[in-house]
Amino acid sequence: MVGSAIWRKLEAEGYTNLIGKTSAELDLRNQAAVQDFFKAEKPELVIDAAARVGGILANNTYPYQFLMENLQIQNNLIDTAFHSGVEKFIFLGSSCIYPKLAPQPLKEEYLLTAPLEPTNEWYAIAKIAGVKACEAIRKQYGKDYISLMPTNLYGPHDNFDLKTSHVLPSMIRKFHEAKQYAVGSKQSTVTLWGSGTPMREFLYVEDLAEAVVFAMENKFSDNLYNVGTGEDLTIKDLALLIQKIVGHTGEIIWDSTKPDGTPRKLMDVSKMEKAGWKAKTSLEDGIRKTYEWFLENQDSVKQVKMG
């Protein structure tokens, strides 16, 4: 999702000398393969949009893969880029790197000040290591290696598999299928995890792509920047918004036996705004665009298999 959005944005901005590989074409967990790729292609700038990602269920079910595979991917890219003479590297992480109970909104300086959210600490620890690796290279060697921490992302090419997806695409699929499987005029109920009270912030992936290109074209004074909208809403309000956009009229049931995750994750985006970038897409507009993409691509929506 993220890589394809950045690629589209770069093409739209007139960039032509683009080098990219899918996970099927290049296994970033394989150090030798990554090194061979750098020797052959000799990139001048690297944008690391690769990661093993998923929601609470996936993180809880596959903690080792979420920790180890993300470490392998980013370490191979960062270290090989550094030793290949790459002067600029943009590392993409996630808002989950911040402590579970950090003050809101989340400021960059809150990193490593308290314990993480247990349900996604495996992914978070890997991403923190990537942030620190880029910071160390910047500090020791003066290279322009920066880390952008997006809030929860959604948009075209998202993962809609119900076992591994994040909350927003999962809701889109659940409400859509409940609407499709209506019996007469009565639509199926939709069961959602938790209480619905946690608050979340969401960023349309095309906006993140704009932020990445902005970071690529400008030199930032620091190493870590939050990327988001600076606005959040409850999971319950998110569900009602998606339900309205999809056109589902059945009942919503909240399963309080399932975990809520972090109570709130709102990003302080003032640092990025001072640098000159701000998100443009409203949540409702972004969800509508995402649902339209989902409807057009139902037969090929991404399903992730892990083991």
Q: Which residues are annotated as a binding site?
A: 92-95, 127, 150-153, 166, 174, 193, 200, 260
Q: Is 97 helix (H, G, I), strand (E, B) or coil?
A: helix
Reported as type and span, the H/E element at residue 55 is none
Residues of the binding site for substrate: 174, 193, 200, 260
Exposure class string for 207-224: b at 16+ Cβ within 10 A, else e: bbbbbbbbbbeeebeebb
Across-strand partners of 199? Answer: 234, 264
Active-site amino acid positions: 123
CA atoms within 13 A on the CB side of 32: 0
Residue 305 CB coordination number (10 Å): 7
- Spatial distance between the Cα atoms of 256 and 254, rounded to a whole number of angstroms: 6
Residue type at 35 in one-letter notation? Q
Residues of the binding site for NADP(+): 92-95, 127, 150-153, 166
Instruction: Give the CA angle between residues 102, 267, 53 to the nearest 5°.
Output: 90
> Angle, nearest 10°, between helix axes 283-296 and 167-180?
60
Residue type at 178 in one-letter notation? A
| Residue 68, Ramachandran bin (φ over 0: left; ψ between -120 and 50: alpha; else beta) | alpha
